[in-house]
């Protein structure tokens, strides 16, 4: 009976998170289209910063709160707050108020993201984390593919407000759906007696750095995200200017990558949940993504981009499931909120830095070269740093076998 309840709760979270991601993507399309007529790059940059920077700055506090507050109560309340802020963004269209409300929304998301990430292992149980992550991330992958197209259609049909109201509805559904979960994540006695200073708010970062497997993996993924993030800046120029193609073909690149990621997440959910296998799959996926991205930089026609992007997406789906599973398996339950928040902050900080670096690099080198350099850098990072994680995982496996 408990296994049935676990599957029910995982499926419920998968659909709730998928609906939330769909709403977020639709809303993001509307916000970009709202600010694009302003004609200033700073407006788009400010939008990206407002949506990401709070996730980085609030990560230590958010992780601490997640580990000290019952999950269902916190996530349900946050869902309602997020919904109200979305309604406000849909109602008031001024640039300043949009950026302020989006920043506040990101502050709430800074708490809800690690909240859900820490709740999932508590529902699935230690032996089913990979399967649960595969299910959830495959549903989110489908939402990520459908979101941009739906967002464009909604803006064209109903204007720029209704996509935000749709996002608000997704947050309300998340708040209500979370209360229907049978399982909850409650603070352990050890977590409950901790104060704000002991352990420190940076516990999540300390845990990532001290773990012999998570440390090289975090470094590898950080450099990997920084390298590939530059592609997001150069991609549109590569397709429209270098290959002389249209915006439609540009949009299909993201769709092909997203479809591949759905397949990769489904495949990774059926892998053996052993540390050595997870580390090997994660590092191998980064190498594959790097090779595919570097290969994209060699194509002469836009049609040749899609096969390597599907393969790269498949590898990214595997990498996402493996990294989330490793974080959960290598972290004590009462610290998972802080570790997931810290990892997310590092991920988002890498993206912010990569956007700035991509803009600067594109001033001196061609978009095609950006793909080649970023792909090679990602591959070399995994090959250079990854063996440290693989060696540590083999040692951990031997110790477990000896016991």
Q: Is the dihedral of CA 142, 116, 55, 356 positive or negative?
A: negative
- Name the stretches of the chain with pLDDT < 50: 1, 191-199
Q: Are residues 158 and 246 in the same domain?
A: no
C-alpha 263/C-alpha 193 separation (Å) is 43
Contact 289, 399 (CB under 8 A): no
**In the chain, how long is the greatest CA-to-CA distance?**
64
Q: Are residues 99 and 10 in the same domain?
A: yes
Domain that holds residue 42: 1-183
Chosen domain end from 183, 216, 234:
183
Kindly report the CA angle at 170 between 164 and 175, in degrees rounded to 5?
A: 130
Does 190 fall in a domain? no
Residue 365: the pLDDT is 83
C-alpha 213/C-alpha 210 separation (Å) is 9
pLDDT tens per residue across span 350-374? 888 887 777 778 778 888 888 998 8
C-alpha 164/C-alpha 205 separation (Å) is 34
Does 197 fall in a domain? no
Q: Are residues 247 and 375 in the same domain?
A: yes
Phi/psi-derived region of residue 244, left when phi > 0, alpha when psi is between -120 and 50, beta in every other case: left
Residue 195: the pLDDT is 44
Query: What CATH number is given to the structural domain containing 238?
Result: 1.20.1250.20
Does 246 fall in a domain? yes
Residue with tokens 């970062």: 205
Residue 36: the pLDDT is 62
CA-nearest of 253, 234, 250 to 373 is 234
C-alpha 199/C-alpha 64 separation (Å) is 9
Residue 38: the pLDDT is 54
């Amino acid at each position: 009976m408990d296994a049935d309840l676990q599957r029910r709760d995982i499926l419920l979270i998968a659909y709730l998170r998928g609906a939330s991601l769909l709403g977020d993507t639709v809303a993001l399309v509307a916000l970009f289209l709202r600010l694009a007529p302003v004609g200033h790059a700073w407006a788009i940059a400010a939008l990206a910063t407002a949506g990401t920077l709070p996730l980085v700055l609030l990560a230590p506090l958010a992780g601490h709160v997640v580990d000290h507050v019952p999950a269902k109560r916190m996530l349900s309340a946050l869902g309602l707050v997020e919904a109200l802020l979305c309604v406000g963004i849909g109602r008031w269209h001024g640039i300043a108020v949009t950026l302020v409300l989006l920043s506040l929304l990101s502050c709430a998301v800074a708490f809800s993201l690690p909240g859900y990430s820490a709740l999932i292992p508590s529902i699935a149980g230690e032996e089913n984390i990979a399967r649960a992550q595969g299910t959830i991330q495959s549903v989110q992958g489908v939402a990520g593919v459908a979101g941009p197209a739906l967002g464009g259609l909604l803006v064209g049909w109903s204007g720029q407000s209704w996509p935000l109201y749709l996002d608000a509805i997704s947050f309300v559904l998340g708040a209500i759906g979370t209360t229907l979960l049978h399982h909850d994540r409650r603070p352990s006695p050890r977590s409950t007696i901790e104060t704000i200073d002991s352990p420190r708010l940076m516990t999540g970062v300390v845990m990532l750095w001290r773990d012999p497997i998570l440390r090289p993996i975090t470094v590898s993924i950080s450099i990997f995200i920084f390298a590939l993030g530059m592609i997001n800046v150069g991609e549109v120029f590569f397709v429209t200017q270098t290959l002389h193609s249209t915006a439609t073909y540009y949009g299909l690149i993201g769709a092909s990558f997203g479809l591949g990621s759905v397949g990769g997440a489904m495949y990774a959910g059926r892998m053996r949940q052993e540390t050595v296998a997870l580390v090997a799959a994660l590092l191998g996926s980064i190498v594959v993504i790097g090779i595919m991205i570097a290969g994209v930089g060699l194509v002469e026609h836009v049609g040749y981009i899609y096969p390597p992007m599907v393969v790269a997406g498949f590898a990214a789906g595997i990498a996402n499931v493996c990294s989330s599973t490793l974080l959960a398996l290598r972290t004590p339950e009462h610290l998972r909120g802080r570790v997931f928040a810290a990892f997310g902050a590092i991920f988002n900080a890498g993206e912010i830095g990569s956007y700035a670096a991509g803009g600067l690099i594109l001033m001196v080198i061609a978009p095609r070269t950006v793909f080649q350099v970023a792909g090679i850098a990602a591959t070399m990072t995994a090959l250079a740093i990854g063996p440290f994680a693989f060696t540590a995982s083999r040692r951990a496996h031997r110790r477990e076998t000896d016991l």
